[in-house]
Structure 1
Amino acid sequence: MEKTLSRDAVAEALQHAGFSQAELARRLEVSSQAVTNWLKGKDFPRPDKLLKMSVLLRVPFDKLVQRTAGQAPVIAFRKRGGTKTTDAHLEHAAAMGYLLKSVVEFLPTRPSLRPRLNSPSLEYMQLQRAIVDVRTKLGVGTTVPLEYSHLIGQFIEAGAVLIPVLWGEKKRHENAVHICLPAEDITFIYLNLDTKLEDFKFWMAHELAHVYTPKLAGSDEGEDFADAFAGALLFPEPCAKVAYADAIGKSEPEAVRALNQHAVSHSISVYSVFCEVQKYQESAGLPPIATTETAIHKFRNGNASSLVSAALFGDEAPTAKVYVHACEEIFRCQLFSALRAIIKMRSVGPTFVHQVLDIPLSDASAIHAELSA
């Protein structure tokens, strides 16, 4: 089997809790033989039993499940500014990954031929050539604003599953989480909808870069390339060239306003436009425009931006029905159809939804009820 329980972790937890295997079986409402089979590696607990066992024994999922070479989830975070990824963050995301393994069999068949970037490079002109290829395949010219539908379609073609979540604007360390399951050959991408509209498209493009370059996922090299790819994809060299011409020779306030006009037309941040203009200017050996990163951030901070969640749902928290519908219709999220099947066939409870979506149990209960209807 690809997944087994860690006998040592379970034995140690049983001793600490003062449970026998028979007592564990009773509390999990399974037979003693079932627990014996789990520990011998002949069978593996269903998700709801695994969740209950983790709670009863107070053992994290990544400790409870035996790590097998090539089976462990690969994690990448799109962090909030100034935050640090800790071991606790990685362990928590890995635990979500192990639970997602049980979801895979209920997902639609994924494409066997998937778009990939075989030779990712940070070199400016080589990256720009790759961007032209990507946009050509999308049927989008290099000066046309990229739409969300283009990005979402590429995630589907690449065999990735988008999971929009409402994680709060400032409560968490991450804006997005990328969980790749190598053995299952699938990637799940959590996108926090409680983020600024002007940043959201960049984060989606950043995650798409990870999907295009699976061998780099989880590495510093992968993060650097994903940032470079996202900026270039959303605002390619021809766009940067025009923006540079509009800003050069102007005073700093006028230059910033000129860059912002391009940002608004592409639905991205003025900082992304500034970075791409700066890269173009340096590559072409041209003089810099009359503004700095500090001035750009000051301009951004002085201009409020609405959240994606507010644009989708208004100021009130959406009902479970509205939320699920938006995920499925707008983001083509395949997770909820899989959860419907798991709830029906395996009788999993709200706790499974709570763990998989990493949301409060009260919200998970409402979504579970909606999916069970």
Structure 2
Amino acid sequence: MHKVIHSEKLRQALQARGWTQKDLATELDVTAQAVTNWMKGADFPRPDKLLKLATTFKLSFADLVLSPEENQPVIAFRKKGGAKTTDAHILKAIAMGSLLKPLVPFLPELRSLRVQISSPSTQYDALQATAAEVRTRIGLGGQAVLSYEHLIDQFGSNGAVIAPVLWGEKQNHKNALHILLRQEQVTFIFLNLDTRLEDFKFWMAHELAHVYTPDLAGSEKGEDFADALAGALLFPKTLAEAAYPHVARQSTTAGEIRELQRYAMAHSISLFSVFSEINKYAKAQGLPPLRCNETGIHAVRNSQRGNLVSELLFEPTPPEPAAYMAAAANVFRSTFFTALQRMIKSKGTGAGYVQQVMDIPMQDAAALHGELSR
């Protein structure tokens, strides 16, 4: 069964506004027959028309669309600080997921044997045991620095396709977008390269936790576990145990923060991650918490930010399409653009598809499409 418009909801919305189906067709710049087909369930709007429907009538995706649960893409955002997820954001992400389905046949064959965490728990000792197992799988000891490059192979081995994107440092609502296609058993993870390195590593670890726990995808429990595992992977118990006495013996909160900064810089992670993981360790061991608080930590952290990942990868920025796609393939071992190129050459897919499936400006999509069409 394919997705269909919830015709009764849409009819009610038209009546409330005093519109006819012809009025709606004019508003959306489609034919009256197209609207009739939507109402009958004989056809379904394109993603851009679906988004305009939702925003015009202030209807959520759940109100507007009837869809079998197992066929609907499952999404999770990694939002920018202070950003709010709206129905329009959710609708656009689900539309992106629907558009990704035709791309799946052009991906390399994905492994059927995948790692899954059977009993995910945020309880401290259980979480640390899971983090230790993941680090061992990656080939890292408990006190080694975890880089985002260490995480990359785990994505490809577990049916996840990384799609590095350049969404800008401030203008986009999200810094990462996780789209699980349950029926196809493929996960697409869009990672914004215009992100500070210390944050980028956390988001990659967070997304890997999602990949390991597909049954929790899209749930609040899944988000809580992913955040907890990311922190434990980046600064595990062995590091927190060694760091706690050095930080706690400082005589002032400023001294504590300086010591925390030393560990944050050594591991290229955020000051807040180090602070949080050491306090979690202290609580689990029945030790006094650090004297410094979240407000002070965030104030220092926000005043001292590192480089963007895009700045570390490309000089100058923004990169030319060829350099950008080469980094996707060579740094992130991503098959996304290879599959996109196969699709374009096989089906004659246009730049509009690239624009919608990557959520980027049309000018950038046209430049990428030109490179992929060669």
Equivalences for residues 96-135 of structure 1 within 5 A? 96-135=96-135
Match of 2:363?
362
Q: Is contact 1:13-1:57 (8 Å) kept?
A: no
Match of 2:253?
252
Equivalent position amino acid for 1:127 in 2: L
Q: Is contact 2:128-2:232 (8 Å) kept?
A: yes
Match of 2:238?
238
Q: Is contact 1:151-1:205 (8 Å) kept?
A: yes
C-alpha distance in structure 1 between counterparts of 2:290 and 2:315, whole Å: 38
Q: Deviations over 1:10-37 (max 9, x none)?
A: 999678437365xx7xxxxxxxxxxx9x
Identical residues among aligned pairs (%): 48
Instruction: Give me the CA root mean square deviation.
Output: 2.8
C-alpha distance in structure 2 between counterparts of 1:74 and 1:122, whole Å: 22
Match of 1:178?
178
Cα pair distance change 1:210/1:187, threshold 3 Å: same
In the alignment, structure 1 residue 345 sits paired with structure 2 residue 353: no
Equivalences for residues 123-272 of structure 1 within 5 A? 123-250=123-250, 251-272=252-273
Match of 2:284?
283
Match of 2:302?
301
Q: Is contact 2:6-2:65 (8 Å) kept?
A: no
Q: Is contact 1:124-1:283 (8 Å) kept?
A: yes
C-alpha distance in structure 2 between counterparts of 1:325 and 1:242, whole Å: 40
C-alpha distance in structure 1 between counterparts of 2:286 and 2:119, whole Å: 26
C-alpha distance in structure 2 between counterparts of 1:349 and 1:327, whole Å: 21
Q: Is contact 1:240-1:277 (8 Å) kept?
A: yes
Match of 2:14?
none
C-alpha distance in structure 2 between counterparts of 1:289 and 1:249, whole Å: 10
C-alpha distance in structure 1 between counterparts of 2:21 and 2:354, whole Å: 25
In the alignment, structure 1 residue 86 sits paired with structure 2 residue 86: yes
Equivalent position amino acid for 1:204 in 2: M
In the alignment, structure 1 residue 322 sits paired with structure 2 residue 323: yes
SS in 2 for 1:241: helix
Shift of 1:158: 1.1
Which consecutive unaligned segments of at least 5 residues does structure 2 have?
12-19, 55-60
Equivalent residue pairs, number: 351
Q: Is contact 2:195-2:308 (8 Å) kept?
A: yes
Runs of 4+, deviation exceeding 6 Å: 9-15, 62-66
Match of 1:372?
373
TM-score (norm 1): 0.86
Cα pair distance change 1:7/1:87, threshold 3 Å: closer
C-alpha distance in structure 1 between counterparts of 2:233 and 2:161, whole Å: 21
Shift of 1:290: 3.3
Cα pair distance change 1:68/1:127, threshold 3 Å: same
C-alpha distance in structure 2 between counterparts of 1:258 and 1:324, whole Å: 39
Cα pair distance change 1:352/1:244, threshold 3 Å: same
Equivalent position amino acid for 2:331 in 1: I
Shift of 1:101: 0.5
C-alpha distance in structure 1 between counterparts of 2:216 and 2:352, whole Å: 33
Match of 2:334?
333
SS in 1 for 2:78: strand
